[in-house]
Chains A and B, each alone.
Chain A
Amino acid sequence: MTTIDRLVGAGIDRIDGPAKVRGTAPYAFEHDPGEPIAHLAVVQSTVNNGRVTGIDASAAEAMSGVLVVLTPENAPRLVGELSSDLPVLQSHDVHYSGQIVAAVVAETSEIAKAAAAVVDVEYDAQPPDVVLTADRDDLYAPEQVMAGFATDSVIGDVGSALAAAAVTVDATYETPTEHNNPIEMHTSMARWDGDSLTLWDANQGPHTIVRDLATGFGLEPAQVRVISPYVGGAFGSKAFAHPNQILAAMAARVVRRTVVFELTRRQMFSLVGHRTPTIQRLRLGADADGRLTALSHEVVEHTSTISEFAEQTATCTRVLYAGANRRTTHRLGRLDVPPPTIMRAPGETPGMFALESAMDELAVALGIDPVELRIRNEPSQDPERNVPWSSRHLVECLRTGAERFGWAGRDLRPRMRTEGRWLIGTGVAAATYPTRRRKAECRISVDGRGHHVVEIDGSDIGTGAWTTLSQIAADALGVGMDAVELRIGDSRLPFAGGAGGSTGLASWGSAIVLTARELRRRIDDEYGGQVPADGVVVDGGVDGASPHAETHSMHAFGAHFVEVRVDQDTGEVRVPRATSVYDAGTIVNAKTARSQFLGGFSMGVSMALHEETLVDPRLGHYVNHDLAGYHIATNADIGELDISWLDEPDELANELGLKGIGEIGITGAAAAVANAYWHATGLRIRDLPITPDKYFRELGLA
């Protein structure tokens, strides 16, 4: 990797920064389609499980400025078969509260919303089934869980090992329904030219959206162009197509005009996915020295009646610690809820809250320092796949973090520090997330003046990809960044998978490196080292997983140390400071990477203290479906964050030695907060979020 030694690693300002701070970088709604835009507003079902028996749209249709009202009666039929909630207005059946049952297209957004409000819909409905419990008799085992993992894993005999263990923990942890809530609402603007469709859209990967649009409308993929150069956050909800892309395209075809569908914040709670609630039973057994002899992680979660999304919640327990006897299971309940989807680190985020809380409980039961307990259970190889690690430096993260945080001398006992009304405690948790590489194609051209154009359908949802891919390309081409013009976020560009699973730079960056190498080789071999006047174009890429992925276990790791303060009078919880240390391989841009880490960790604090979508068990609706009711961390909720990383490239993972950093920061963060909360108060909160009322609940005062 001799070519990669200059820009990669530097803390370079975002190249898209100047436009973003002024607000001139165009997001989905903000492109110019070249003609007046019609606006779409939807009518959503008020029942969860039933059938539309009648729609009266006459009042809406009579409104001046209304172009059309689409209902299951008159909506055009989709051609190809789409799954989940994508067949919009194709049936009278209702599967969840908030499902689209009608859509109004009008000259202005005000008219569209007013007209949608007077569409009268009648239903024949059954009572909603929306409450997940661990003792439902209809839970089932899916064929596999997300990302291709096995549903269950069984090694040894957990039951006997638990019975023989010197110390055991048996506890159940719960995480609530959570919503991604990127600040840019999901928005799709569609324009047809004959049988060709252009969609300016908020998503994590244009090619993914093209696939479903082409299927739905019976088009060749080349007839669909999805353009998404700037995306205002996503965190998983924009990974896959949702009803908005299909409906915008359908409506634009009907009215023969450009149509924009910008969801409202409230509509986002039912129409673009959520993280399933989880109920997780953890059983750990250890010998008197704290060496794990048994690990059992049993997960209950939900999916919808029209889709199967099986979050891989227990897979972290297959990786993190040694132990001879192990069992992980996933069971699903099919409820009358909207289809769940990916939310930042699906699996690891809820799973690590349970596992790392249980490890803290085990440390307490043993009277062992929780950092030391984790170090004692460091596995020499992947404990379930029995293959070596490509690289693993969790112990170094724990030791470095403990040093930076000032962990030494911590009293093992809880509720030992107070300052006025404040109870003060500290906690630790590990972090882990898989390292993967996916198929990606790339084209690089260079002209006679040395100007390089790098084309790949990567995506920058805030990750910094505009900048980091430019750094990677410049280094691989042996030129400065000013000689590189990057093009991403357009399905006309060479294929790449979307931004997700922390695979972006591993996949797109590797494709760029390999294509750049081939370009330089050709210039040397075929043109004597001199680019010809009419330039050179090279296509390249990577096929998929690292060739070492079968023989090695590849993961990023980290450790969080958190201080928590709890107000004894109000139950208010504060996180004044935290230290996180990461083992994430090569860091491409020290500035944007730090933002990824601190953003992920802060979202974990938000999960720990604030985030919870409440569902009304009688009416089946999400109750707190806006940003006043669904609380996310604000500026005042986040304290001093000390972020650092180890300089340990993973030579087996990919061409750059990086592990992916979009998700590692959130994993384990909520457990670190909960563990520090226990240390401050002596109270163990096993159901997130840790809201002030739970302090009094645990004390028996509420």
Chain B
Amino acid sequence: MDTEITLRVDGAAHPLTVDTRTTLLDALRERLRNTSPKKGCDHGQCGACTVLLDGRRVNSCLVLAVTVGDAEVTTSDGLATDDRPHALHRSFVEHDAFQCGYCTPGQVCSAAGMLAEARAGWPSAVSDDGEIDLTDAEIRERMSGNLCRCAAYANIVPAVAAVAADEGVRR
């Protein structure tokens, strides 16, 4: 069954027709031809499709497009402002925090969402009591929902750590 919806993506509104079975990921990739979120499993197992939904990270393959409503969808590409790369974009390139680059926009969105969670004081499975400090162990834990088969993990950690330090959530 087809439904008319309007998706707000990276600051622009897109009226479109979707099947009620269409995931947010497929609406972005197959209907809007937005290449930023990637499909790596379609089952919420790899994290390559991670986008921000009103600022919170979600696996867009697990969200039905018709349920998004007025929420703002932000892809990695949308994290750039006026075509200036986001601090995470620059840090990922500088630290070579990827190889093939396919999981990378999802990693970047996940990192952005994770930094917001840390700023809000959300603990992880490895957090101590008290204020959140994004140590390497914290970053590894909090970024483990995003698989990287090239295994750039050892570079993703310092790439995120540099931005976390600038944002004051890493001491």
Interface residues of A (CB under 8 A from B): 13-14, 16-18, 20-27, 29-30, 32, 37, 39, 108-111, 114, 181-185, 230-235, 262, 264-265, 461-464, 591-592, 594-596, 598-599, 602-603, 606, 626-628, 632-638, 640-641
Chain A residues, Cβ within 8 Å of B37: 23
A18 touches B41 (CB 8 A): no
Nearest to B103 among chain A residues (CB) is A183
Decide yes or no whether B40 CB sits under 8 A from chain A: yes
Chain A residues, Cβ within 8 Å of B103: 183, 232
Question: What's the Cα separation between A634 and B139 when bound, in Å?
Answer: 12
A233 touches B146 (CB 8 A): no
Chain B residues, Cβ within 8 Å of A638: 140, 151, 153-154
A596 touches B21 (CB 8 A): no
Max chain A Cβ within 10 angstroms of own Cβ: one of B40, B77, B151: B151
Chain A residues, Cβ within 8 Å of B89: 18, 21-22
Of B94-102, B127-135, B163-171, the one touching chain A = B94-102
8 closest A-B pairs (Cβ-Cβ)? A232-B102, A20-B101, A462-B100, A23-B36, A462-B99, A602-B151, A23-B105, A17-B93
Chain B residues, Cβ within 8 Å of A29: 29, 39
Chain B residues, Cβ within 8 Å of A632: 147, 149
Chain B residues, Cβ within 8 Å of A185: 39-40
Given A14, A234, A264, A598, which contacts B154 in the complex, CB threshold below 8 Å?
A598
Q: Give B1-53 interface residues, CB cut-off 8 Å to A.
A: 19, 21-22, 26, 29-30, 33, 35-43, 45-46, 48
Decide yes or no whether B66 CB sits under 8 A from chain A: no
Chain B residues, Cβ within 8 Å of A22: 36, 76-77, 79-80, 85, 89, 105, 108
Question: What's the Cα separation between A265 and B48 when bound, in Å?
Answer: 13
Chain A residues, Cβ within 8 Å of B98: 17, 20-21, 462
Question: What's the Cα separation between A37 and B31 when bound, in Å?
Answer: 10
Decide yes or no whether B157 CB sits under 8 A from chain A: yes
Max chain B Cβ within 10 angstroms of own Cβ: one of A20, A461, A464: A20
Nearest to A12 among chain B residues (CB) is B96
With A23-B105, A110-B26, A231-B100 known as contacts, the answer to whether A14 contacts B93 (CB < 8 A) is yes
Mostly, the B contact residues are: loop
Chain A residues, Cβ within 8 Å of B19: 108, 110-111
B33 touches A635 (CB 8 A): no
CB distance from A63 to the nearest CB of B (A): 12
Question: What's the Cα separation between A109 and B141 when bound, in Å?
Answer: 34
A/B interface sample: 5 pairs, CB < 8 A: A20-B104, A182-B149, A265-B43, A599-B99, A637-B144
Nearest to A233 among chain B residues (CB) is B100
CB distance from A669 to the nearest CB of B (A): 11
Decide yes or no whether B118 CB sits under 8 A from chain A: no
CB distance from A435 to the nearest CB of B (A): 21
Interface band, chain B: 35 or more
CB distance from B125 to the nearest CB of A (A): 9
Question: What's the Cα separation between A596 and B152 when bound, in Å?
Answer: 9
With A17-B92, A265-B42 known as contacts, the answer to whether A596 contacts B99 (CB < 8 A) is yes
Decide yes or no whether B148 CB sits under 8 A from chain A: yes
Max chain A Cβ within 10 angstroms of own Cβ: one of B22, B38, B80: B38
Question: What's the Cα separation between A626 and B45 when bound, in Å?
Answer: 8
A264 touches B42 (CB 8 A): yes
B93 touches A462 (CB 8 A): no
With A110-B26, A183-B103 known as contacts, the answer to whether A21 contacts B48 (CB < 8 A) is no
Given B43, B99, B139, which contacts A628 in the complex, CB threshold below 8 Å?
B43
A183 touches B36 (CB 8 A): no
Question: What's the Cα separation between A163 and B98 when bound, in Å?
Answer: 51
Question: What's the Cα separation between A628 and B46 when bound, in Å?
Answer: 9
Decide yes or no whether B58 CB sits under 8 A from chain A: no
B93 touches A633 (CB 8 A): no
Question: What's the Cα separation between A625 and B73 when bound, in Å?
Answer: 31
Chain B residues, Cβ within 8 Å of A595: 96, 99, 150, 152, 155
Decide yes or no whether B161 CB sits under 8 A from chain A: no
Chain A residues, Cβ within 8 Å of B33: 30, 32
Decide yes or no whether B115 CB sits under 8 A from chain A: no
B149 touches A183 (CB 8 A): yes
Decide yes or no whether B60 CB sits under 8 A from chain A: no
Given contacts A25-B101, A184-B38, 4 further A-B contacts (CB under 8 A): A13-B94, A462-B99, A628-B45, A635-B153
Nearest to B79 among chain A residues (CB) is A22
Question: What's the Cα separation between A183 and B140 when bound, in Å?
Answer: 19
Chain B residues, Cβ within 8 Å of A596: 99
A463 touches B99 (CB 8 A): yes
What sequence of 0s and 1s flags, for each residue 68-86 of chain B, a beta carbon within 8 Å of any chain A beta carbon? 0000000111011000010
Chain A residues, Cβ within 8 Å of B35: 23-27, 30
CB distance from B43 to the nearest CB of A (A): 6
A633 touches B151 (CB 8 A): yes
A230 touches B101 (CB 8 A): yes
Chain B residues, Cβ within 8 Å of A462: 98-101, 150
CB distance from A638 to the nearest CB of B (A): 4
Nearest to A15 among chain B residues (CB) is B93
CB distance from B86 to the nearest CB of A (A): 9
Chain B residues, Cβ within 8 Å of A20: 98, 101, 104-105
Nearest to B45 among chain A residues (CB) is A627
Question: What's the Cα separation between A184 and B102 when bound, in Å?
Answer: 6
Chain A residues, Cβ within 8 Å of B26: 109-110
CB distance from B115 to the nearest CB of A (A): 15
CB distance from A28 to the nearest CB of B (A): 10
B46 touches A627 (CB 8 A): yes
Given A17, A111, A233, which contacts B102 in the complex, CB threshold below 8 Å?
A233
B92 touches A232 (CB 8 A): no
CB distance from A58 to the nearest CB of B (A): 22
Given B38, B45, B85, which contacts A21 in the complex, CB threshold below 8 Å?
B85
Chain B residues, Cβ within 8 Å of A17: 92-93, 96, 98, 101
Nearest to B143 among chain A residues (CB) is A635
Max chain A Cβ within 10 angstroms of own Cβ: one of B33, B100, B139: B100
Nearest to A666 among chain B residues (CB) is B151
CB distance from B131 to the nearest CB of A (A): 22
Question: What's the Cα separation between A184 and B147 when bound, in Å?
Answer: 11
Question: What's the Cα separation between A169 and B26 when bound, in Å?
Answer: 55
CB distance from A670 to the nearest CB of B (A): 14
Given B76, B100, B141, B150, which contacts A23 in the complex, CB threshold below 8 Å?
B76
A635 touches B144 (CB 8 A): yes
B43 touches A627 (CB 8 A): yes
Question: What's the Cα separation between A429 and B114 when bound, in Å?
Answer: 37
Question: What's the Cα separation between A32 and B39 when bound, in Å?
Answer: 17
B93 touches A232 (CB 8 A): no
Question: What's the Cα separation between A334 and B96 when bound, in Å?
Answer: 42
With A14-B96, A183-B46, A264-B42 known as contacts, the answer to whether A21 contacts B147 (CB < 8 A) is no
